[in-house]
Amino acid sequence: MVIEVDSVSLTIKKQKILDKVSLNCEEGKIYGLVGRNGSGKTMLMKCICGFIKPDEGEIKVLGKKIGKDCDFAPDTGIIIETPGFIGHYSGFKNLKLLAGINRKINDDKIREVMEFVGLDPKMKKSVRKYSLGMRQRLGLAQAIMEDPKVLILDEPMNGLDKEGVEDMRKYLLKLKAEGKTILIASHSSEDIAVLCDETHEMEKGVLSN
């Protein structure tokens, strides 16, 4: 199993956010989380990534126990909520700065990934002037540019027009074909039906098949 969530519970301000959630994700498959706003999808993803520590239960990503073997999910690309970028820099410059943290990839790889998600790496336009759809594409580029084995994507279709949604689905299916394990949260039943090998519904912090 690439992602293993075992009986995870989380309470914030006396409110039960996650209630004994268990989930297993295998390599090379897309898993969908569906549910209304406030159902717990984003919090579960934050726990898997290591951004929030659950009160109970255990989470492993690629065999590493989150919070014990490592602080954050290893070899994982992430989009949770609106990706944060430096507004007065171009998309390419933002990705170059992020790539400088791990120093795994060069400028050519950044250009290749930007083109893959439908952005022009030569475009000088600052990110603050990007449309919401362009920001989503840039968010996917930052998530995949270092070729992670795992992708955790919270509402990656947000703000995309019809063509953008088709493109995003195409990108995700291509990444799946490359053997990535993808966990995606969406309120669109169509996205989930088209993309996912397995779907789980969340309601009031409880996960069901």
Tell me, yes or no, whether 160 and 112 share the same domain.
no
Tell me, yes or no, whether 1 and 71 share the same domain.
yes
> Quick check: 209 pLDDT over 80?
no
Q: What is the rounded average pLDDT of the residues 150-168?
A: 88
| Among candidate residues 93, 124, 147, the one where a domain is terminated | 147
Tell me, yes or no, whether 11 and 67 share the same domain.
yes
Q: Find the domain containing 113 and state its range.
A: 83-147
pLDDT in tens, 76-130: 999 997 778 999 999 999 999 999 988 899 999 999 999 999 999 999 999 999 9
Stated length of the chain: 209
Average pLDDT, the chain: 92
| Among candidate residues 132, 147, 162, the one where a domain is terminated | 147
Distance CA 177, CA 78 (A): 19
Tell me, yes or no, whether 140 and 38 share the same domain.
no
Q: What is the rounded average pLDDT of the residues 130-156?
A: 92
Residues 114 and 180: beta-carbon distance below 8 Å: no
Alpha-carbon torsion angle 185, 172, 52, 86, nearest 10: -110
pLDDT in tens, 2-34: 999 999 999 999 999 999 999 999 999 999 999
Report pLDDT for 158.
Answer: 82
> Quick check: 50 pLDDT over 90?
yes
Distance CA 129, CA 195 (A): 30
Tell me, yes or no, whether 9 and 38 share the same domain.
yes
Whole-angstrom CA distances from 77 to 34, 61, 129, 153 are 20, 12, 24, 8
Q: Give residue 133's Cα distance to chain centre.
A: 16
Tell me, yes or no, whether 44 and 137 share the same domain.
no
Tell me, yes or no, whether 106 and 50 share the same domain.
no
Look up residue 27 and give its two tokens: 């390599």
Tell me, yes or no, whether 67 and 12 share the same domain.
yes
Question: Does residue 144 or residue 187 have the better pLDDT?
Answer: 144
pLDDT in tens, 169-190: 999 999 999 999 999 998 787 8
Distance CA 32, CA 196 (A): 6
Residue burial 8-26, b: 16+ Cβ < 10 Å; e: rest: bbbeeeeeebbbebebebe
Residues 43 and 185: beta-carbon distance below 8 Å: no
Tell me, yes or no, whether 67 and 98 share the same domain.
no
Burial class for 68, CB neighbours closer than 10 Å (0-12, 13-18, 19+): exposed
Report pLDDT for 132.
Answer: 85
Distance CA 6, CA 152 (A): 18
Nearest to 152 by CA among 79, 50, 43: 79
Tell me, yes or no, whether 103 and 143 share the same domain.
yes
pTM metric for this prediction: 0.91
Which helix (H) or strand (E) segment is 143 a member of? Answer: helix 132-144
Q: What is the rounded average pLDDT of the residues 141-170?
A: 90
For 34-92, the DSSP string reads E--TTSSHHHHHHHHHTSS--SEEEEEETTEEBTTTBSS-TTEEEE-SSPP--TTSBHH
